[in-house]
């Protein structure tokens, strides 16, 4: 494997044992702790453009989710248990504890946003504030899966197909699939992505074990994650910490209803708005995204 650029100079590196196996994380900055959770098909590197601004005010922890990046890919089972957002959230709490952080703010993009809101529901005492980037809850995504949405988020039903169908097809051209996916979710294609970050994504997505882990993530999302959401929604359980929803004006959530109205059904202290970009807020509009996050998490 070719050497990959260090996009977080001055940050420390950690491999930490958790219930999901050994997870990798970068850490740096000064101030209250802030956990940044990446999405698919990326790694912690997706935050490299906003990390310098956030690190001036916060101690950042940027893990790779189980099965992504440099983190261990736990062996799955018929219920896809290690890849549920509940299991991932618990593993990240364990990671944060070992780094000395009991309560912390959470930023989650894409799949990371799903881990983040599940963490806030399951462990409300841990999450001081939450920001979700370009998602709506998993239950609402599947409930709204009509023909139009299915064409936009075809990867949801595709990656959730029974093993080995998606793994077999993706493994024939993993880099092409990765680049098509990233480029199709941004109005400018791949132009807004740092070539050095792209090398990180290509290296991770070239590993068949990690392609399988990504599919398990989506299989859990289609089954057990929906069940957990349904149980909480029917019980009237809410996210009680201050919550900021940001989404791309040309992103996926904005293509099917008002994201803020959807999140209002789940949160008691919500605010949010669109940013003029596609799906990848931290890379397409880093300055505006960082400014919104700093204002929200810096408020007392």
With contact defined as beta carbons under 8 Å apart, do 57 and 51 qualify?
A: no
Cis peptide before 41 (omega within 30 of 0): yes
Pairing of strands 12-18, 21-29: antiparallel
Cis peptide before 164 (omega within 30 of 0): yes
How far is it, in rounded angstroms, from Cα 185 to Cα 182?
A: 6
Return the ∠ at Cα 278 (arms to 86 and 88), rounded to 5°: 10
To 10 degrees, what angle do helices 208-222 and 111-122 make? 50
Q: Which residues are catalytic?
A: 110, 279
CB burial string 202-241: b at 16+ within 10 A, e below: ebbbeeeebbbbbbbbbbbbbebbbebbeebeeeeebbeb
Return the ∠ at Cα 77 (arms to 139 and 215), rounded to 5°: 55
Return the ∠ at Cα 204 (arms to 199 and 210), rounded to 5°: 165
**Phi and psi torsions of 286, nearest 5°:** -65, -40
With contact defined as beta carbons under 8 Å apart, do 185 and 129 qualify?
A: no
Taking the alpha carbons of 185, 190, 192, 194 in that order, is the dihedral positive or negative? positive
């Amino acid at each position: 494997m070719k050497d990959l650029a260090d996009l977080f100079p001055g940050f420390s590196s950690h491999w930490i044992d958790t219930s999901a196996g050994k997870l990798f994380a970068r850490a740096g900055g000064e101030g209250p702790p802030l956990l940044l959770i990446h999405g698919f098909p990326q790694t912690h590197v997706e935050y490299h453009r906003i990390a310098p601004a956030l690190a001036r005010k916060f101690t950042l922890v940027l893990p790779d989710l189980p099965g992504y990046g440099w983190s261990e890919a736990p062996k799955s089972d018929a219920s896809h248990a290690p890849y549920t957002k509940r299991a991932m959230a618990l593993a990240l709490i364990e990671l944060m504890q070992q780094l000395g952080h009991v309560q912390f703010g959470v930023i989650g993009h894409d799949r990371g946003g799903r881990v983040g809101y599940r963490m806030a529901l399951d462990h409300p005492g841990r999450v001081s504030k939450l920001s979700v980037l370009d998602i709506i809850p998993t239950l609402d995504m599947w409930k709204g899966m009509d023909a139009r949405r299915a064409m936009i988020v075809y990867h949801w039903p595709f990656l959730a197909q029974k093993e080995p169908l998606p793994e077999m097809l993706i493994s024939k051209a993993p880099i092409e699939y990765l680049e098509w996916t990233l480029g199709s979710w941004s109005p400018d294609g791949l132009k807004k992505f740092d070539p050095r970050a792209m090398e990180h994504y290509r290296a991770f997505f070239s590993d068949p074990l990690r392609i399988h882990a990504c599919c398990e993530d989506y299989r859990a999302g289609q089954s057990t994650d929906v069940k957990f959401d349904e149980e909480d929604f029917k019980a009237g359980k809410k996210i009680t910490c201050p919550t900021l929803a940001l989404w791309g004006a040309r992103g996926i959530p904005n293509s099917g209803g008002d994201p803020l109205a959807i999140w209002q059904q789940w949160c008691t202290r919500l605010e949010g708005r669109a940013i003029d970009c596609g799906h990848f807020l931290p890379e397409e509009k880093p300055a505006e995204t960082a400014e919104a996050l700093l204002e929200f998490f810096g408020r007392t």
